[in-house]
Amino acid sequence: MIIREVHIHNLFSYYGTQTFAFSPPENSRNITLISGRNGFGKTSFMESVKLLFLGTDKLLLNNIQRGRSLSPKAYLLGTGEEWLGIMNCAARNEGEEEFSVRVIWEEESGTVDAKRSWHLQGRNDYNHKLEVIPSFGRVPEEVEEAQGFLHARIPRDIVSFFIYDGEQVQAIAEANREELLEQIERLFGLDKLDTLSNNIEINIRKWRREGSPSDANHRLRILEKELAEYEAKLASETEKLERNIEKTRDLEIEIEKDLNYLQSKQAYAHEHKAELLKRDFENKNEQLQEKNFEVALNLPQSIPLLVNPDLIFKAINILREQLNSESGILTETLRQILKDLPRDLFNKGLPSTPPLIDNQKDFYKTKLNGLLSPYLVSGSKDSRLFSLEYARAKRLYQNLEQFIAPKDMLIRYSENLRAVSRLRKEIEKINDKIHDMSSLEKDEKERYEARKRHYEENKIELDEKKEQKIEIEGNIRDIKENKVKSKQKEIDKQKQTVRLAHTAKQRVQLGDVLKQLYSEYKARLIKNQKENMENSINEHFSKLMSSHKQISRIEILDDFSYQYIGYNKTHVGMAGLSAGMKQLFATSLLWTLKDVSGKSLPVIIDTPLARFDRGHQQNLLTHYYPHAGDQVILLPTDSELDKEKYNILKPHILEEYRLNNPDGEHTSPERKSMYS
């Protein structure tokens, strides 16, 4: 993995968007320097890169306040004056809402562009977003999937082996040994063997829970016994069904005999005929009631006019003569003039001079009415034409006109009335027939009634048998479908369990063998890696440690723990080592882990020369940093890397950035050499 670009936006001491662009390493030139004074943003750069790959992981949350682990929200937004959060204070005070880090790198499969950002929601909340866009394969859509993509590149447990602060590197040597050893195992991929072995153990327990062959056979015998009980019950119900069918057949024969007897007797004929007449009587009577209701419902109030068409025609003719006569039309016109002229004459148009008073207006209106009224009846040839006013005559004509030709209505009324009359006559005839039937002889009637009772009793019993048959058939279906078939499935499944129990036993044996094989394989890998680590760490430590020979050899144990051996072949305790020596050992260990693991990851080191003396610093500059990784990014101060030390490192320097930060909140990178 080679980092090509880092973009830091409103994060830590970086205000706005600040960009670092890195060239790919060239031969022995693999070191990038990002230098600056204390507080100028070197550590902020390193923490930003770690933040991109880890997110708000506990590795970051535990490093802010000693003895206290912050929550992700407190880490991002702050806890008060003691910790203001990772968002750039100047940007936050100016109302900026987004802070982010973006890293673009190259790997064997192609280029990856990853960005982690946060967007403020008010003062105390935020939205988190992680975008990973590779130039190959599928783009992760969910945050969890994108985080998995990043962890596959730099697992969280090995981040501290490749991105670290040189002043704190001795903590690796003093770290919780169990946690450190687990991280080393993960770096070498040995944890995958443990995962595989654990999965085998889980399956072994599962196979053992599946039961022994003897337990499975015992359960099978119980199920077969239960099946036999259901089959016996099924046979009993089947026998009941056969008896029911036989009895039903006998009853149907008896009923048929009784019915033949009843139909052959005169009494049946009389009774049958009487029943038919009664049903016919009830039917006709019901029809009569319906027809009466229909006639009453549809009979209109204008029925007197409908049944007197001659009178209607005569009245219509008279009204038509009046409406069409000249005198009638003139009369209506004069009537309208008489109504409107007095009003319009005095109320509309130009006023008279002098104006008329109201009494004068009323006098002239009355006079005008008197003059015109006689003309309303002039020219009349028949006094009948003036028996009604013209408007009333017209309305009357329109009302009577609808009764001129209601033929369909009259036909329907007449048909309904004839139907009522016919039904009444038919009902009277049926009633007479019922009363005219002769009575039966006593003996014949008693025999008939006895046979009839026998017939009815058999029919009732037949119905009961049919119901019983339905119930029995339901029981049979239930036993077959829900009990026998279900139990048979259980038996088949248990037979499979019996077979699986034998198979499980074989699998347990195979699992034990595999587990042993993996354990032996892991032991061989550990032995090989232990030997590689021991040779590598002693070689690197001898190059870095040149002040004295307190430690002649470092031994790596089977669990990757280590112990120091002095020149007198005795153990040297951790407490007997100086802080500088611990830092040299930790640096040698990191160098060794990079070499032995074969991981090709960028190495980012803040305060690279830390507390080392000048001689050991020269060893680091000469031997370690040029070989620490394919891409090495060092973050020194100018006092830490003076010009003499700079010249030692210069043949391996690919490019440089100089950090400026005038007020602590505006870090900006500049492509500039430390000693130009």
What's 450's domain CATH number? 1.10.287
Q: Cα–Cα distance between 256 and 496 in angstroms, integer? A: 57
Of 457, 484, 513, which one is at a domain's C-terminal end?
Answer: 513
Name the helix (H) or strand (E) containing 583.
helix 579-597
pLDDT at 113: 97
pLDDT > 70: percent of the chain = 84
Averaging pLDDT over each range in 123-127, 289-293, 577-581, which range is the top one?
Answer: 123-127
Specify whether 239 is located in the same domain as 318.
Answer: no
**Cβ–Cβ under 8 Å, residues 248 and 466:** yes
Structure tokens at 226: 């239960």
User: What does the H/E/C string look like for 421-432?
Assistant: HHHHHHHHHHHH
Q: How far apart are alpha carbons 673 and 676 in whole angstroms?
A: 5
According to the model, what pLDDT value does residue 565 have?
Answer: 86
Per-residue confidence band for 363, with pLDDT thresholds at 50, 70 and 90: confident
Given 357, 384, 402, the domain boundary residue is 402
Q: Does 398 lie in the same domain as 333?
A: yes
Position 374 pLDDT exceeds 90:
no
Q: What is the pLDDT of residues 460-482, one digit of tens each?
A: 998 999 999 999 999 998 998 88
In a domain? residue 581: no
Q: Which of the pair, 358 or 30, is modelled with greater confidence?
A: 30
Q: SS in 3 state form for 283-322?
A: HHHHHHHHHHHHHHHHCCCCHHHHCCHHHHHHHHHHHHHH
| CB distance 619 to 544 below 8 Å | yes
338 assigned to some structural domain: yes
Token look-up 């009980």 returns: 229
Q: Do 314 and 269 share a structural domain?
A: no
**pLDDT score, position 212:** 63
Lowest mean pLDDT, pick from 25-39, 388-402, 551-565:
388-402
**Amino acid found at 411:** I
Higher pLDDT, 321 or 138: 138
Higher pLDDT: 169 or 544? It is: 544
- Using CA of residue 446, residue 448, residue 451, residue 454, what is the dihedral sign? negative
* pLDDT, average across residues 510-530: 87
Percentage above 90 pLDDT, the chain:
28
Q: Are residues 467 and 391 in the same domain?
A: no
pLDDT, position 330: 66
Residue finishing a domain among 465, 481, 513? 513
Run of H or E residues at 260 = helix 213-264
- Residue 390 shares a structural domain with residue 448: no
60 part of a folded domain: no
The pLDDT assigned to 383 comes to: 45
The reported pLDDT for the residue numbered 302 is 64
Q: Does residue 486 register a pLDDT over 70?
A: yes
Cβ-contact 237, 480 below 8 angstroms: no
* Same domain, residue pair 398 and 483: no
List, for residues 218-275, the tens digit of each pLDDT value.
Answer: 888 898 898 899 889 989 999 999 999 989 988 888 888 888 877 776 555 556 666 7
Would you say residue 332 lies in a domain?
A: yes
pLDDT for 74-125, tens place per residue? Answer: 889 888 777 788 999 999 999 999 999 999 999 999 999 999 999 999 888 9
Residue 465 lies inside a defined structural domain of this protein = yes
- Asked, for residue 349, whether it belongs to a domain, the answer is yes
Whether 380 and 445 map to the same domain: the answer is no
Same domain membership, residue 335 and residue 257: no
Structural domain span for residue 359: 303-402
Shared domain check, 309 and 230:
no
Q: Is the pLDDT of residue 213 over 80?
A: no
| d(C-alpha 72, C-alpha 82), whole Å | 16
The confidence band for 351, taking pLDDT boundaries of 50, 70 and 90, is low
**Is 250 contained in some domain?**
yes
- For residues 272 and 324, state if they share a domain: no
Residue 162: the pLDDT is 87
Q: Are residues 275 and 312 in the same domain?
A: no
Q: 131: helix, coil or strand? A: strand
Beta-bridge mates of residue 118: 99, 128
In this structure, what DSSP letter does residue 199 have? H
Answer whether residue 175 is part of any domain.
no
Q: Rounded mean pLDDT of 621-638?
A: 92
pLDDT at 197: 84
Phi–psi pair at 599, nearest 5 degrees: -75, 130
Q: What DSSP line would sit under 405-457, residue for residue?
A: --HHHHHHHHHHHHHHHHHHHHHHHHHHHHHHPPPPPHHHHHHHHHHHHHHHH
Mean pLDDT of 3-11: 97
Supply the pLDDT for residue 47: 94
pLDDT value, residue 671: 94
Residue 13, pLDDT > 90, answer yes
Tokens of 253: 């024969």
Which pLDDT does position 571 carry in this prediction? 84
Q: What are 426-463's pLDDT values in tens digits?
A: 878 777 666 554 455 677 778 878 888 888 899 899 89
* Beta strands, E only, 330-404: none
Same domain, 506 and 443: yes
Q: For position 120, what pLDDT does the model report?
A: 94
Q: How many domains does the chain contain in total?
A: 2
Q: How many CB atoms lie within 10 A of CB 186?
A: 17
Model confidence band, residue 384 (pLDDT cutoffs 50, 70, 90): very low
What is the DSSP code (8-state) at residue 26?
Answer: B
